[in-house]
Structure 1
Amino acid sequence: MKYAIITGASKGLGEAIAKRLIQEQIAVVSVSRTENEEIKSLAIKQGIDYKHLSCNLSLEKEVQEVFMEIAHCIFQKDPEEILLFNNAGVIDPIQKVGNLDQTPIISNIQVNLIAPILITNLFFNKAQLTNTKVTVVNVSSGAAIRSIEGWSVYCSSKAGLNMFTQTAALEQAELETSNKIIAFSPGVMDTNMQETIRSSSVEAFKDLEQFKEYKEKNMLLKADVVANALVDLVLSGEVESGKVYNIKDLLK
């Protein structure tokens, strides 16, 4: 059986990914601070193995403990494949360099970059001892390749995630494993992150009005549309390890 682990599964893209995978008869492990009852109900209705674990991804010790538990539970079931979606992300702090606060800087890097590295490292390590294939999807951003005023920390953490993805893919190829790792840029979606962006100030983020316009003119992508395109790619068996995929290419 295939198992999927999804961080940030309680809402937005993570929620949409979880619901689609359950429909595909794939067991789901949801990791977020709060549990999404709709996902739980859907899993029960579909008769799919489902588990939720609460985790604060900004706390290194908690990440290690929770994902060691997840890895132990899943690998002992000898799964056909493990799909790992490092989806959780934070955009704060939205502020220009010189006016940044220390705590949100550290939290951003912990959630967006350090947690995915720790989790991927753990699962690739465990996979060495089994015949289980691990496919990692790191949810990135267009901000990883384009500097945006007020988003220095977010841009940097996502750029780091892309480079980690590409480097890890090279290593897995050299080791001749069956593991794959990709990054995925989901575009501008109608999620809570966009609400956070729109509630910032022009002084901190000069493109604020443009992002408000995205919402007003209904230009934001729906999370389920993005999730379906991503899951279609992952389940196609044609994933190119190390590639940074963009939602625009998948929706052509």
Structure 2
Amino acid sequence: MEAYIVTGASKGIGKELVEQLTAENHFVIGLSRSGIMKDGVHSIQCDLSDPSQINAAAEEIFNLLPDASSYTLINNAGMIEPIGLAGEVEHTEITKSVAVNLTATMILSNYFIHHLKDVNAKKQIINISSGAGRKPYEGWSSYCTTKAGVDHFSRVVALEQKTAKFPVQIVSIAPGIIDTGMQEKIRSSKEEDFPLLDRFKSYKENEQLSSPSETATELISFMKKMHQFDETILDLRNL
């Protein structure tokens, strides 16, 4: 049996990952703010912008986990907001962005590594990052910064795990531009808040967006051969 933990599991890539992994008869735990109503999925309702809820969810996750041949944590949940130039955004939205995009990833990864440290099995952490963590975009200071944090956190953990008795392999992978609710929010923003608005509208108009289903399939294929990769920072489009 293979066990998977997926955050942001009720929509977009996360929803597709849960559905495809469940269809393959794996043990799947899905975290989401709204909860999941799907047979075969162990659903945990959790608002990742609240660190106290993250800790409670983590305890529940590791009470649910069975003995398995492999364990995979997919930190997929993320938010693009706040969109706006620094100095013009609400500080409460910055706090929420850091919690969802970075703090939740760090806390859940910490629990995962600690709980399974003495388990001799295949163990993987897949952090869903973004090209925005590797290149600055005006109007996305919070998103770019938190995704850069995810990348560097992954680098540090990869370094630490080299000396672990039963190491966890970790990657931070950018999936490309996906036709999800996040892209809808980007397209509905104002040009004064996001100067590259027209470019992102053109991605949709010119059918340059990947579907969540296609992306989930590619991610699952990658996870099956992840042990072949030595790099920590990856782009799904280049694999």
Deviation at 1:239, TM superposition (A): 4.6
Residue 185 of structure 1 pairs with residue 174 of structure 2:
yes
| Structure 2 residue identity aligned to 1:137 | I
Residues 131-150 of structure 1 correspond to what in structure 2 (within 5 A)?
A: 131-150=120-139
Runs of 4+ in 1 over 6 A off after TM superposition: none
Q: Which residue of 2 aligns with 1:159?
A: 148
| Structure 1 residue identity aligned to 2:17 | I
Residues 92-111 of structure 1 correspond to what in structure 2 (within 5 A)?
A: 92-111=81-100
Superposed CA deviations along residues 142-166 of structure 1, whole A, max 9, x for unmatched, are: 0011000000110000000000001
CA contact (8 A) 1:82 1:134 kept: yes
195, 211, 220: which is aligned to 1:222? 211
Counterpart Cα distance in 2 of 1:103 and 1:134: 35
Deviation at 1:53, TM superposition (A): 0.7
Q: Which residue of 2 aligns with 1:33?
A: 33
Residue 13 of structure 1 pairs with residue 2 of structure 2:
no
Alpha-carbon spacing, 1:234–1:174, altered in 2? closer, same or farther (3 Å): same
Residue 71 of structure 1 pairs with residue 59 of structure 2:
no
Deviation at 1:129, TM superposition (A): 3.2
Superposed CA deviations along residues 104-126 of structure 1, whole A, max 9, x for unmatched, are: 10000000001000000011001
Superposed CA deviations along residues 159-202 of structure 1, whole A, max 9, x for unmatched, are: 00000001101101122423111111011110000001011100
Q: Which residue of 2 aligns with 1:119?
A: 108
**Helix, strand or coil: the match of 1:135?**
strand
CA contact (8 A) 1:166 1:242 kept: no
Counterpart Cα distance in 2 of 1:30 and 1:239: 27
Q: Which residue of 2 aligns with 1:47?
A: none
Alpha-carbon spacing, 1:2–1:215, altered in 2? closer, same or farther (3 Å): same
Q: Which residue of 2 aligns with 1:58?
A: 49
**Helix, strand or coil: the match of 2:178?**
coil
CA contact (8 A) 1:181 1:242 kept: no
Counterpart Cα distance in 1 of 2:90 and 2:35: 30
CA contact (8 A) 2:119 2:166 kept: no
Aligned length: 239
Residues 168-247 of structure 1 correspond to what in structure 2 (within 5 A)?
A: 168-240=157-229, 243-247=232-236
**Helix, strand or coil: the match of 1:224?**
helix
CA contact (8 A) 1:168 1:242 kept: no
Q: Tell me which moved more, 23-32 or 164-173.
A: 23-32
| Structure 2 residue identity aligned to 1:9 | A
Counterpart Cα distance in 1 of 2:169 and 2:24: 20
Alpha-carbon spacing, 1:179–1:27, altered in 2? closer, same or farther (3 Å): same
Deviation at 1:134, TM superposition (A): 2.2
CA contact (8 A) 1:183 1:242 kept: no
Deviation at 1:246, TM superposition (A): 0.8
**Helix, strand or coil: the match of 2:227?**
coil
Q: Give the TM-score normalised by structure 1.
A: 0.91
Deviation at 1:247, TM superposition (A): 2.0
**Helix, strand or coil: the match of 1:137?**
strand
Counterpart Cα distance in 2 of 1:70 and 1:231: 21
CA contact (8 A) 1:144 1:159 kept: yes
Alpha-carbon spacing, 1:241–1:32, altered in 2? closer, same or farther (3 Å): farther
Deviation at 1:227, TM superposition (A): 1.0
| Structure 1 residue identity aligned to 2:23 | Q
- Percentage of identical aligned residues: 35
Q: Give the TM-score normalised by structure 2.
A: 0.96
